[in-house]
């Protein structure tokens, strides 16, 4: 699932391309992607003519602020990503007309928004789990009010006050505690901070927690620089892969040697999620 760096990369690129553009039409072959309003015909009627005033990120959610007090929310979920460009000869193509859509991950197009500049914003989603909603600004804001603070925008004291209980891996991924962090960056931050994913927050010393806070910010900012991680489905709106995969130390490296000590990376289940770690560098 796209996490903070991937979602922010999407938002930043779309802001450069689609601000002040208006929706003139929309198509889908998977109307169940649309959660609000319930009817796709109603959705189509309401979004036509709406102008994009701003594009924002809240946690892992993309929010298009539209004219007439409306907001379009897109949560890309497990396998979704937004593309910007157009169709040409039956394939997706970026706006620059350089990156023809040979990448299979850019070919699962199930939702297309047609803009007034002869370009489209499309959702490619292999498993069709994404969520799309069109509602008032107030309704969308209320829906997201339970999300925790953004890890890039809080001080250490706020981080310390927010992350207070439970196993540290689960706390980092709990969107009501910290919004935007998932499996990839929690694994990577914990490794770099030398903290085992099963450690309880209450047992962490202040120095350990501060180190984790700093490493998490460092990891997220570095991932933003290289446009995120594209191990499987995620692509940028230009259809390109993010490059943070080259910098991964533990995530999805089960059985491979730790870059620091040579021990084999392990994978365990915590609840219904997984955690990758080095048993030597991250002791309980």
For residue 1, the model assigns a pLDDT of 84
| Residues 128 and 247 occupy one common structural domain | no
60 is catalytic: yes
Contact 140, 71 (CB under 8 A): yes
- pLDDT tens per residue, range 186-242: 999 999 999 999 999 999 999 999 999 999 999 999 999 999 999 889 999 999 999
| Residues 124 and 9 occupy one common structural domain | yes
| Residues 133 and 259 occupy one common structural domain | no
Marked catalytic residue, from 3, 6, 120, 133 = 3
156 pLDDT higher than 70: yes
Q: Each residue of 165-175: b (16+ CB within 10 Å) or e?
A: eebbbbbbbeb
| Residues 265 and 164 occupy one common structural domain | yes
Using DSSP's 3-state secondary structure scheme, residue 25 falls into strand
Residue 241 counted as domain residue: yes
| Residues 185 and 263 occupy one common structural domain | yes
Q: Which residues, in sequence order, are bridge partners of residue 36?
A: 133
Contact 49, 26 (CB under 8 A): no
CA distance 247 to 252: 12
| Residues 34 and 134 occupy one common structural domain | yes
CA distance 66 to 55: 9
Average pLDDT over residues 137-165: 97
**CATH code of the domain containing 17:** 3.20.190.10
| Residues 22 and 125 occupy one common structural domain | yes
3 is catalytic: yes
Residue 61 counted as domain residue: yes
Marked catalytic residue, from 21, 143, 273, 279 = 273
Residue 283 counted as domain residue: no
Which of 97, 119, 143 lies at the terminal end of a domain, its last residue? 143
For residue 102, the model assigns a pLDDT of 73
Query: What are the structure tokens assigned to 22, written together?
Result: 């208006």
Query: What are the structure tokens assigned to 182, written together?
Result: 């998932």
Terminal CA-to-CA distance of the chain, rounded, Å? 28
Residue 18 counted as domain residue: yes
Which of 108, 143, 178 lies at the terminal end of a domain, its last residue? 143
Instruction: Write down the mean pLDDT value for the chain.
Output: 95
Nearest residue to 59 via CA among 178, 230, 154: 178
pLDDT confidence tier of residue 271, bands split at 50, 70 and 90? confident
| Residues 170 and 122 occupy one common structural domain | no
pLDDT confidence tier of residue 86, bands split at 50, 70 and 90? confident
Nearest residue to 128 via CA among 195, 81, 87, 197: 81
Marked catalytic residue, from 2, 5, 197, 237 = 2
For residue 141, the model assigns a pLDDT of 98
For residue 104, the model assigns a pLDDT of 87
| Residues 81 and 203 occupy one common structural domain | no
Residue 243, domain extent = 156-277
- pLDDT tens per residue, range 238-269: 999 999 999 999 999 999 999 999 999 999 99
Query: What are the structure tokens assigned to 248, written together?
Result: 């991964």
For residue 284, the model assigns a pLDDT of 85
Residue 216 counted as domain residue: yes
**How many residues does the structure list for the chain?**
284
Nearest residue to 106 via CA among 40, 4, 88, 182: 88
Tell how strand 23-28 and strand 120-125 pair up.
Answer: unpaired
For residue 232, the model assigns a pLDDT of 86
| Residues 75 and 181 occupy one common structural domain | no
Residue 129 neighbours by CB distance under 10 Å: 15
| Residues 74 and 193 occupy one common structural domain | no
Using DSSP's 3-state secondary structure scheme, residue 69 falls into helix
Element (H, E) at 130: none
Enter the pTM of the model: 0.95
Marked catalytic residue, from 17, 60, 86, 169 = 60
Which of 84, 108, 143 lies at the terminal end of a domain, its last residue? 143
Residue 150 counted as domain residue: no
**CATH code of the domain containing 202:** 1.10.8.50
Residue 151 counted as domain residue: no
- pLDDT tens per residue, range 27-84: 999 999 999 999 999 999 999 999 999 999 999 999 999 999 999 999 999 999 999 9
The structural domain count of the chain equals: 2
Residue 31 counted as domain residue: yes
| Residues 123 and 160 occupy one common structural domain | no
Write out the DSSP string of 108-173: -EEEEEEETTS-EEEEEESS---EEEEEEHHHHHHHTTT----TTT--HHHHHHH--SSBHHHHHH
Q: Which residues, in sequence order, are bridge partners of residue 82?
A: 123
User: What is the Rg, in whole angstroms, of the alpha carbon atoms belonging to the chain?
Assistant: 20
């Amino acid at each position: 699932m796209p996490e903070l760096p991937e979602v922010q990369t999407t938002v930043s690129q779309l802001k450069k391309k689609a601000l002040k553009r208006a929706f003139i039409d929309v198509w889908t072959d998977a109307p169940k992607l649309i959660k609000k309003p319930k009817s796709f015909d109603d959705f189509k009627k309401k979004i036509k003519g709406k102008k994009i005033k701003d594009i924002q990120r809240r946690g892992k959610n993309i929010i298009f602020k539209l004219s007439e007090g409306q907001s379009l929310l897109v949560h890309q979920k497990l396998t979704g990503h937004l593309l910007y460009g157009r169709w040409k000869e039956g394939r997706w193509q970026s706006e620059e007309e350089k990156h023809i859509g040979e990448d299979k991950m850019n070919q699962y197009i199930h939702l297309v928004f047609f803009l007034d500049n002869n370009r489209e914003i499309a959702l490619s989603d292999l498993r069709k789990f994404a969520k799309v909603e069109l509602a008032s600004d107030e309704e969308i804001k209320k829906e997201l009010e339970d999300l925790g603070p953004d890890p890039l925008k809080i001080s250490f004291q706020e981080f310390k006050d927010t992350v207070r209980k439970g196993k540290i891996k689960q706390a980092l991924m709990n969107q009501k505690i910290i919004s935007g962090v998932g499996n990839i960056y929690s694994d990577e931050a914990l490794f770099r901070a030398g903290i085992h994913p099963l450690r309880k927050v209450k047992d962490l010393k202040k120095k350990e927690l501060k180190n984790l806070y700093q490493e998490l910010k460092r990891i997220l900012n570095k991932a933003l620089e290289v446009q995120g991680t594209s191990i499987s489905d995620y692509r940028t709106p230009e259809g390109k892969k993010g490059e943070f995969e080259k910098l991964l130390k533990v995530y999805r490296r089960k059985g491979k040697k730790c870059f620091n000590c040579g021990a084999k990376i392990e994978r365990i289940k915590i609840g219904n999620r997984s955690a990758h770690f080095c048993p030597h560098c991250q002791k309980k």
